[in-house]
Amino acid sequence: MSNSILEKSDDMEYLFKNCKLEREPIADNLTKIIENLGEKGSFVLGIDSPWGTGKTTFIKMWQKKLESEKSDKIFTIHFNAWENDFHGDVLSALIGELDKHLNSIENSNKGDLKKVIGMIGSNIIKLITKGIVDLNEINEKLNETEGRVLFNKYQEYNELKENIKKNLFEIKKKLEVDKVIFFIDELDRCRPDYAIETLEKIKHLFGVDGYIFILSLDKEQLSHSVSTIYGNGMDSEGYLRRFIDLDYSLPNPSKNNYINYLMENTI
């Protein structure tokens, strides 16, 4: 089912009162899971459902519900991966979306938050320009004077990663919330390399206490992306389990609810 089926107008506010698929209890149960995680470590939840079954509508409704009921404990960001896969760097796009959301809030620490975002931007630039050294390059130059330089570059890379994690934790602290939740939408529609890079960046650079990632995806399609990058012999399911801590399959919409809704809006 396409998202437009649930939309009453172009400026739809994505509230569960407009949902005819009775999915609010699902959002409530998933919220309880997130709240019971505590603040230690990051967490990735996959909302799995085939294309056209209303995943985007569901996560936007869920996000609105969290914003209205849990704003004192949870800060949310919506990131459409498909609309951003033209961007050369996933990390920059994710932080850019966080910065945009910070612009729209009222917070006494807003000035400090913007400074921390600036620090993250600086670290990202350094990270992109330095990159991680290829192991083959290390082996080739191990016995040369440049070998020490290569190891130094690797150490600098790790230091930059840790700096970004510290900055992200500082943002959560200044927001005065328990959790920062990224809703990552349309991941399965992205270029295979961008989809995989998004998963890897989330796991390796956002492994910060209290950061939660909700991935809206068709896991079967995402598995095809993994096979495209790593070959058909790759255990795609096993690979995705490395990045997704918990899978939840969104139940298929009730045909009766769908037909009744169509009748209500066409008669």
Q: Does pLDDT of 232 surpass 60? A: yes
Q: Tens digit of pLDDT for each residue in 60-82?
A: 999 999 999 999 999 999 999 99
pLDDT band at 38 (very low <50, low <70, confident <90, very high): confident
pLDDT given for residue 266 in this prediction: 63
Q: What's the pLDDT score for residue 79?
A: 93
- pLDDT band of 178, cuts 50, 70, 90: very high
pLDDT tens-digit series, residues 99-132: 888 887 777 677 888 889 888 888 887 776 655 4
* DSSP codes, the chain: --GGGG-SSTT----GGG-SS--HHHHHHHHHHHHTT-SSS-EEEEEE--TTSSHHHHHHHHHHHHHHHSTTTEEEEEEEHHHHTTSS-HHHHHHHHHHHHHHTS--TTHHHHHHHHHHHHHHHHHHHHH-PPPHHHHHHHTTSTHHHHHHHHHHHHHHHHHHHHHHHHHHHHHHT-SEEEEEEE-GGGS-HHHHHHHHHHHHHH---TTEEEEEEE-HHHHHHHHHHHH-TTS-HHHHHHTT-SEEEEPPPPPHHHHHHHHHHHH-
Give pLDDT, residue 261.
60
Task: Give me the pLDDT at residue 188, please.
Answer: 86
Give the model's pLDDT for residue 168.
Answer: 92
Is the model's pLDDT at 143 over the cut of 60?
no
pLDDT at 211 over 60: yes
pLDDT number for residue 177: 93
**Quick one: average pLDDT of 11-29?**
80
